[in-house]
């Protein structure tokens, strides 16, 4: 039985690292197409294999659907999440300048369940919600 979200933060971390490598090589974030998704999957598998060899962060088996979803939405600008992360960053700055200890780790905000299933119409609508 597979529990929901088990080891998903590791999957997301590997996917984000693959996206950063993709951006370093291609000079852009991946598009929502099969060609870029395949490149991200290859990079994620390489990162995971390197992690296994170095006894670092790795997973037994990559969830290709999670990798695809992270890659597909990596170029999107989501205002509400930007505000959320802005609040966290502001709080960490206050901690850094005050008596509290700031976070010294990665944080992944996992909301993959809120993504639509199936094809999405991403044609610009001529409004402020266009990416």
Does the pLDDT value for residue 5 go beyond 60? Answer: no
Q: What is the pLDDT of residue 6?
A: 63
Domain ranges of the chain: 8-114
- For residue 10, give Cα distances in angstroms to 21, 97, 102: 17, 31, 22
- Pair of tokens at residue 6: 């088990």
Specify the pTM: 0.69
pLDDT at 22 > cutoff 80: yes
CA dist 27 and 80 (Å) reads: 26
Structure tokens at 88: 């966290």
- For 34-84, how does the pLDDT look when each residue is reduced to its tens digit (9 = 90+)? 999 999 999 999 999 999 999 888 888 998 888 988 898 888 777 677 788
Say which CATH class 8-114 falls into: alpha beta
């Amino acid at each position: 039985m597979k529990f929901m979200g088990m080891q998903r933060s590791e999957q997301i971390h590997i996917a984000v690292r693959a996206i950063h490598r993709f951006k370093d090589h291609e000079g852009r974030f991946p598009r929502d197409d099969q060609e870029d998704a395949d490149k991200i999957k290859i990079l994620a598998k390489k990162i995971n294999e390197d992690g296994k060899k170095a006894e670092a962060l790795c997973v037994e088996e990559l969830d290709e659907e999670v990798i695809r979803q992270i890659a597909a939405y990596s170029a999107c600008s989501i205002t509400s999440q930007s505000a959320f992360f802005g609040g966290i960053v502001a709080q960490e700055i206050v901690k850094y300048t005050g008596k509290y200890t700031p976070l010294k780790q990665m944080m992944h905000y996992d909301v993959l369940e809120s993504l639509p299933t199936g094809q999405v119409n991403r044609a610009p609508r001529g409004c402020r919600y266009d990416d």
